[in-house]
Amino acid sequence: MPETLKAIYHNGAFILETPDDLPEGTEVEILMKSSHLLLHPISDITEKQRFLKALVERMQQNPIPFNAPSFTREMLHERR
């Protein structure tokens, strides 16, 4: 059964945030969750206009419902 472990990359190693008794040699898969979004800037003006038009259209097709719950600052931050 899959198990989720949180870790921080530091000095070339992944340091688990919570202790876990993984047997030596256990194979794991790592899913990267980065707070840094790496995008290449769009330098072509026509491509940039096309991208922005498509973005606005998607936003208009998926509006936030009027009855959507409001979140407080506290609710938006992960708790440990």
Taking only the tens place, the pLDDT of each residue in 28-55 is 888 877 666 667 788 899 999 999 999 9
DSSP character at residue 18:
S
pLDDT at 23 over 70: yes
Question: Can you give the residue ranges of every domain in the chain?
Answer: 1-34
By mean pLDDT, which of 45-49, 55-59, 75-79 is the weakest? Answer: 75-79
For residue 23, give every residue at least 6 positions away whose Cβ sits within 8 Å of its Cβ, in sequence order, or none.
Answer: none
Query: Who wins on pLDDT, 74 or 56?
Result: 56
- Provide the pLDDT for residue 79: 61
Query: Who wins on pLDDT, 32 or 68?
Result: 68
CB 18 within 8 A of CB 6: yes
